[in-house]
Amino acid sequence: MLLRLTDVTKNYAGNEKAVLDHVSLDLEQGDMLALTGESGSGKSTLLHLIGGLDSADSGRVVFDGIDLTPMNDSGRAALRRGSLGVIFQQFNLIPSLSIAHNIAFQARLAGRHDPSMVRVLVERLGLDDHLNKYPEQLSGGQQQRVAIARTLAARPQLVLADEPTGNLDEATADNVLALLQDLVIENGASLILVTHSERLAARLPRRAYLRAGRLT
């Protein structure tokens, strides 16, 4: 079992209802899960808890046999560096680094930098001509491809993608997702994809639906 969530609950100050209410979920190595739900249903929050970016109020999040719940800041940071990869809707590239350095950054942090793999990713994602540019010089679709390359170059066990195609047009979104799926499979990783789009969700083998903080 790569990931197990047990009765995870999360609320934010000022909210009447919990954002996540006793959510449980299992994910095996190689699984690809599409997580859908309405706005405010807690999809991003669930992703952040799995990624160690936030902590649950109650319940347990166990990744690769390690319980994230009692972990401190340093432990979670180490987990994010070594085993997880997060792709955000806003791309969140590092603006001060060139595209080449952005792509290699997480892999180098994890101590798994493989220039040949980066070259393959760059080629597959069509980024060859942009390596010396800076993020603000690229279009949204190009930036998203850089974010995907950055995550996959670090060869994480689990890729967490939060609306990675939310800012892209339909055709580009289809291409990006197909590429992401292919690369995840080639790297033997797992994927949790948060999306609004039923059409995109339908392309993944497993689906889960969040409604009012509960998983169905």
Partner 1 sequence: MTAAILSALLGHWRRNPLQLLTLMVGLALATALWSGVQAINEQARSSYDAAAATIGEASYSQITAQDGGPIPQQTYIALRRAGWAVSPVVEGRLDTIRIVGLEPLTAPRDLGPVRLGNGVDLGDFLSGAGQIFARPDTLARLPQTGAALQPTPDVAPNTALTDIGVAQLLLERFDQIDRLIVLPDQPITQQPLAQIAPELIQTDPQQGGEVAQLTESFHLNLTAFGLLSFAVGLFIVHGAIGLAFEQRRPMVRTLRALGAPLVRLIALMAVELAALALIAGALGVALGYLIAAALLPDVAATLRGLYGADLSGELSLRPSWWLSGLAIALGGTAVAAFGALWSLARMPLLSGAQPRAWVMARQGSGMAFAAIMLLGLAAALGIWGTGIVAGFVMLGALLIGGALVLPPFLSLLLRLAEGQARAPITQWFWADTRQQLPGLSLALMALLLAMSANVGVSTMVSSFRLTFVGFLDQRLASELYVSAESAAQADAILAVAEDKADVVLPLLWVDRLVAGQPAQIYAARDHATYRENWKFLHAVPDAWDRLARGDGVLINEQLYRRTELDLGSEITIIPGRTLPVLGVYGDYGNPIGQVIVTEPLFSEAYPEVRALRFGLRVGPDKVAPLRDALRTDAGLGDAAITDQSTIKAMSLAVFERTFTVTAALNALTLAVAGFAILMSLLTLAAMRLPQLAPVWALGLTRRKLALLDLLRAVVLAALTATLALPLGLALSWALLAVVNVEAFGWKLPMYLFPLDYLRLGGLTLVAAALAALWPAWKLARTPPTQLLGVFRNER
Tell me which residues touch partner 1 (CB under 8 A): 12, 19, 39-40, 42-45, 48, 51, 53-55, 73-74, 77-82, 86, 88-90, 92-97, 101, 104-106, 108-110, 134, 136, 162-163, 166
Shortest Å, Cβ 73 to partner 1: 5
Shortest Å, Cβ 95 to partner 1: 6
Angle between helices 140-153 and 99-109 in degrees, nearest 10: 30
Nearer to partner 1, 94 or 185 (CB): 94
Shortest Å, Cβ 65 to partner 1: 19
Nearer to partner 1, 86 or 192 (CB): 86
Asked whether the CA dihedral 65, 71, 75, 76 is positive or negative, the reply is positive
Nearer to partner 1, 93 or 192 (CB): 93
Shortest Å, Cβ 53 to partner 1: 6
